[in-house]
Structure 1
Amino acid sequence: MSECQDGWLRDRWQRSARTVAATAAMSVASVVLALGTMVGQAAAGVSPAERGSLNAALAAPAVSSVAAGYAHTCAIRTDATLWCWGSNYSGELGDGTTTSRTTPVRVGTATTWAGIEAGSSHTCAVQTDRTLWCWGSNLRGQLGDGSTTNRTTPVRVGNATTWASVSAGDSHTCAVRTDGTLWCWGFNRLGQLGLGSSVYYLVAPAQVGTATNWVGVTTGFAHTCATRADGTLWCWGDSSSGQLGLGSLSYATTPAQVGTATTWTGVTAGYTHTCAVRTDRTLWCWGDNGYGQLGVNTTYQTTPTQVGNISTWTGVNAGFDTSCAVRTDGSLWCWGNNATGQLGDGTTTNRYAPTRVGTATTWTSGLVAGYHTCAVRTDGSLWCWGNNANAQLGDGTTTQRSTPAQVTLPS
């Protein structure tokens, strides 16, 4: 990310820490989501505005996944091409420039992109050959290419061909390999790499511990969480708002198990809060709650707290001050900070409990990031809403949206 953004985020984090210590309150995080809609059910489950774009959705190139950073968005089409748009101050769009884009631009010529992840101002992606590539801001070595030089086009991370998934945070990155090992690099001021406190930052991947049963990892502003094949959940890094779920406000520099449950199926780290789903489809959140991003009307929580009594949640994602989740009936729900309409409910009112986004019942899974939200439907159409100051909604404007608006990628 830019030095200006870095300073803003750092100052904000410091203010949040002081708020917790002084008032036993709150936190931050928001949302960007990738999800889906069945073609046969689309007309019946959308708002009039969404319905007006249905024909265009059917004609537009289909999207398989989407990721959003602080002010940029990237998506992979079903033809495995990669497209990005929005802020490009540090080269996070990967198109060889630092020019911001109001509509999607293609990243290179490769047709082998398999997975995409966006941090605050850097982006990483895995190709079908299991190679890993990153680009954008590299001030703290978060690109993992052995340098601290920003990159405007994708650069390969090492020479491994066993990368399974990657997660990009603010200034650090972590990834899991097909052998179940976990690797992190970038900024480590608060132990977010899980490698102890002796390292300030790393410019290349380093293995976290010796475990070989990691199945997923998620990175927040300065904390990291990951799940293992045995269903246990582990977190480390900053816990100034309780976002590690360990029952305290003390940070941890190596992975620490969250409780004793062995039923965690997925976890997502926001700015200073965390949410996760269990095998019984219950939803749990913890950490800062200044905007209601935990989905419960309480102060910050240092241990997992159940969100309502619903047991139909399939997935959740957390970002800056906001969280979004999908239920088994395909409905999408968001809560927390809504200052820029990122909850998608047509208002700018913060919500302390899950609030439904429209009436569609065909959303699938999601992704989260800055103050905007994006979602993919099962027909492959892409929708975004919320903050658009940097054209991160990809609709050719800088107009803020409080309800989902379709994004059309070039043919």
Structure 2
Amino acid sequence: MDGWGANTFGQLGDGTTTDRATPVAVTGLAGAVLTTAAGGGHSLARLSDGSVQCWGNNSNGQLGDGTTTSSATPVTVGGLSGVNAVAGGANHSLALLGDGTVRAWGANASGQLGDGSTSDSSAPVTTGGFPDTVIKVACGGGHSLALLNNGDVMAWGDNTSGQLGDGTLNDSSTPVAVQGVANAVDIAGGSGHSLAVLADGDVLAWGANGSGQLGDGTTTNNPHAAAVVNLTGVTAVAAGSGGNFSLALIGDDGSVQAWGDNSSGQLGDGTTTDSTAPVAVQNLASAVSALSAGSSHSLALLSGRTLQAWGANGSGQLGDGTTTDSTSPVSVTGESGIVSLAAGDAHGLAV
């Protein structure tokens, strides 16, 4: 497993706090890594034995090891087993267990752990109140999302911009139903907005929209789920926990559409102009099979299991050996055979 980009908190897991413009190996992992996820300044790995390890920023307990001490090498999340998936927010983390229940740890000022409190936790707590089995989890900046087996979506935590989608601006420390979303197949959370892909390939978005990240042609916040314009055939979406833009993977041809903030070229259309409607990412080397979004950069897994990235690169988060922003995709150096990827605020991870 490798990491690159910002390393202020040790989020690359190489035992240092030195930024890296090309990938370096994560050291000290306790076993084989199946999938990875990234938060604002921390990283997560799901191991083959169903346990989870984390590293990087731990100011709110987001590493889950019972402390608030940051770590430049992996530490084990206490009391977790049988984990099927992990997700990282700005300063909190989620784990989906094999039985369809959810555990959360880290920052909780807005209720983003979903345990009915607003107290941070440096160890996993149970997120409650789901009427059906959870099959996917996602984190925004200070909010969390769950996709249920019946296709409904629930959300909890920060709701300042309507990112919980319940029609209010009230934070919630327990899950609430996102109104108007049914038959969803994928979810994603941004800094203050949320996304859902429906079974028919349409995309709904809600929450903050100051940069056009809802893709509805406006810059008006919306606490109700509304359709992203001019977008069909989508199979997956991505948005970073620190980001104000959105990405969508088109299933038929593996192309990518993007919208919202483009100040660093993170939409990949060759410009730095924000867009309130989807635009095509240009010059991808081949079809894309998976996406991840950081604060201001984007990361794509190509059909040949190599990586490309675009957008902000001040910390080397594009992994191309430079610190120069790019408005179109560049290759991440030396990465091949990749099966899982993740983008943090300003770093990248690959397994």
Q: Same fold (TM over 0.5)?
A: yes
1:306 paired to 2:230: no
- Kindly indicate whether the alpha-carbon contact (under 8 Å) linking 2:183 and 2:199 is maintained by their aligned counterparts in 1: yes
1:91 is matched with which residue: 10, 15, 31? Answer: 10
Specify the SS of the correspondent of 1:365: strand
Amino acid at match of 2:222: Q
Specify the SS of the correspondent of 2:295: coil
Deviation at 1:195, TM superposition (A): 1.2
Query: Which structure is larger by alpha-carbon Rg, 1 or 2?
Result: 1
2:308 is matched with which residue: 374, 377, 383? Answer: 383
Number of aligned residues: 329
| Whole-angstrom distance in 2 between the partners of 1:140 and 1:242 | 24
Give structure 1 stretches of 5+ with no counterpart.
Answer: 1-81
Cα distance change of structure 1 residues 282 and 150 upon mapping to structure 2, 3 Å threshold: same
2:281 is matched with which residue: 357, 361, 369? Answer: 357
- Alignment partner, residue 217 of structure 2: 297
- Alignment partner, residue 54 of structure 2: 134
1:406 paired to 2:331: yes
Deviation at 1:410, TM superposition (A): 6.5
- Alignment partner, residue 18 of structure 1: none
Cα distance change of structure 1 residues 410 and 246 upon mapping to structure 2, 3 Å threshold: closer
1:315 paired to 2:236: yes
1:153 paired to 2:153: no
Cα deviation, 1:362-381, whole Å, max 9, x if unaligned, reads 12221112111111101112
1:125 paired to 2:45: yes
| Whole-angstrom distance in 1 between the partners of 2:207 and 2:101 | 27
Deviation at 1:296, TM superposition (A): 1.2
- Alignment partner, residue 395 of structure 1: 320
Deviation at 1:248, TM superposition (A): 1.2
Give structure 2 stretches of 5+ with no counterpart.
Answer: 337-351
- Kindly indicate whether the alpha-carbon contact (under 8 Å) linking 1:242 and 1:286 is maintained by their aligned counterparts in 2: yes
Amino acid at match of 1:327: I
Per the normalisation by structure 1, the TM-score is 0.77
Deviation at 1:262, TM superposition (A): 3.6
Cα deviation, 1:327-380, whole Å, max 9, x if unaligned, reads 122211111111111111111011110000126571222111211111110111
Deviation at 1:159, TM superposition (A): 4.4
- Kindly indicate whether the alpha-carbon contact (under 8 Å) linking 1:341 and 1:348 is maintained by their aligned counterparts in 2: yes
| Whole-angstrom distance in 2 between the partners of 1:358 and 1:385 | 10
1:331 paired to 2:255: yes
2:266 is matched with which residue: 328, 333, 342? Answer: 342
Deviation at 1:384, TM superposition (A): 0.9
Amino acid at match of 1:321: N
| Equivalent runs, 1:272-283 vs 2, <5 Å | 272-283=192-203
Amino acid at match of 1:399: T
| Whole-angstrom distance in 1 between the partners of 2:49 and 2:16 | 26
1:225 paired to 2:145: yes
Amino acid at match of 1:396: G
- Kindly indicate whether the alpha-carbon contact (under 8 Å) linking 1:331 and 1:359 is maintained by their aligned counterparts in 2: no
- Kindly indicate whether the alpha-carbon contact (under 8 Å) linking 1:125 and 1:133 is maintained by their aligned counterparts in 2: yes
| Whole-angstrom distance in 2 between the partners of 1:217 and 1:142 | 16
Deviation at 1:251, TM superposition (A): 1.1
| Equivalent runs, 1:105-120 vs 2, <5 Å | 105-108=24-27, 112-120=32-40
1:249 paired to 2:174: no
| Whole-angstrom distance in 1 between the partners of 2:105 and 2:79 | 15
Cα deviation, 1:49-82, whole Å, max 9, x if unaligned, reads xxxxxxxxxxxxxxxxxxxxxxxxxxxxxxxxx0
Higher-helix-fraction structure: 1
Cα deviation, 1:165-189, whole Å, max 9, x if unaligned, reads 1111011111101111101111111
| Whole-angstrom distance in 2 between the partners of 1:364 and 1:101 | 25
| Whole-angstrom distance in 1 between the partners of 2:307 and 2:128 | 38
Cα distance change of structure 1 residues 410 and 330 upon mapping to structure 2, 3 Å threshold: closer
Percent identity (aligned): 41
Higher-strand-fraction structure: 2
Amino acid at match of 1:253: S
Cα deviation, 1:218-259, whole Å, max 9, x if unaligned, reads 111111110111211101111111111111111111000112
Cα distance change of structure 1 residues 410 and 295 upon mapping to structure 2, 3 Å threshold: closer
- Of 280-289 and 159-168, deviating more is 159-168
| Whole-angstrom distance in 2 between the partners of 1:311 and 1:399 | 33
Specify the SS of the correspondent of 1:115: strand
Amino acid at match of 2:120: Y
| Whole-angstrom distance in 2 between the partners of 1:355 and 1:152 | 38
| Whole-angstrom distance in 1 between the partners of 2:95 and 2:305 | 26
- Alignment partner, residue 7 of structure 1: none
